Structure 1
């Protein structure tokens, strides 16, 4: 079984090119997360990465931050933020105990950020017309992890109701569907 840091490293390697591929002119585009446009989703993802990095080292978190950090060299800062996230989860003891106030095992908390990084990279890729193929080892851990978290995530309004997928759906399509996403989502064309 791979460590959380190894999985996050694979997920970051797939997410970073997506973020680098976002043009500033696409920041107002819609996303599969109905309440977020691309800019808001990037801001959310930065907040998630920062807080889960703190959880890895048993630090305090603030998920309520709503700062707009998509300014200046935000793509470079995303590279740095994901590298720091991977490093934090590679530290001795990161996968031990119950970090923060979530009351969950550290590995489960790590799988949560793995889910955010992977699913939101897909969201951003879909929103901006990019290809995205998650790492197979990440998907293998993510699918069961999201299934386990789904009931609580729905109560907290983090996941929507499961989206129906056909029997031949891929493991990643099933994982997306568990979060309430339509794996076939595409942007609505704008009127000229």
Structure 2
């Protein structure tokens, strides 16, 4: 079984080119997350990555921040922050215990950020007309992991209602569907 750090490294390898491929002119376009445009989703992803770096080392978190960090060299900062996330989850003890106030096993917490990084990379790719192919090892972990978390995630309004996966759906399309996304989503007008 791969470690969370190894899985995050695979997810980051796929997410970083998507973020680098976003043009500033695309920051206001809608995403498959109806409550977020590209800028808001990037801000959310930066917030998640920073907080899950802290959770890896059993630090404190603040998910309430609403700063706009999509300024300056935000693409380079995304590279740096994802590298720090991978490094934090590689530290001895990162996958042990129950970090934060959630009372959830550390590996499950790691799967949560793995899901965010992978699914939101797809959201951003779809919104900005880019290709996205997730790491197969990541998908293999996410499919059962997110399916198990889905009922509680829906109660917490983190996932939408499950989308009916099309016949013959791929494992990643099933991951998207369990989070409430339409795997066939396209921006309006395309």
Q: 1:96 is matched with which residue?
A: 96
**Partners of 1:6 and 1:127 in 2: how far apart?**
27
Q: Residue deviations 1:137-167, cap 9 Å, x none?
A: 0000000010011000000011011000123
Alignment RMSD: 0.7
**Partners of 1:169 and 1:45 in 2: how far apart?**
26
Three-state SS of the structure 2 residue aligned to 1:6 is: helix
Three-state SS of the structure 2 residue aligned to 1:52 is: helix
Three-state SS of the structure 2 residue aligned to 1:59 is: coil
**Partners of 1:128 and 1:189 in 2: how far apart?**
12
Three-state SS of the structure 1 residue aligned to 2:149 is: helix
Three-state SS of the structure 2 residue aligned to 1:125 is: helix
- TM-score of the two chains, using structure 2 as the length reference: 0.99
Three-state SS of the structure 2 residue aligned to 1:189 is: coil
**Partners of 1:36 and 1:160 in 2: how far apart?**
14
Q: Structure 1 stretches (4+) deviating beyond 6 angstroms?
A: none
Q: CA deviation at 1:98?
A: 0.1
Three-state SS of the structure 2 residue aligned to 1:167 is: coil
Report the count of equivalent residues.
190
Q: 2:114 is matched with which residue?
A: 114
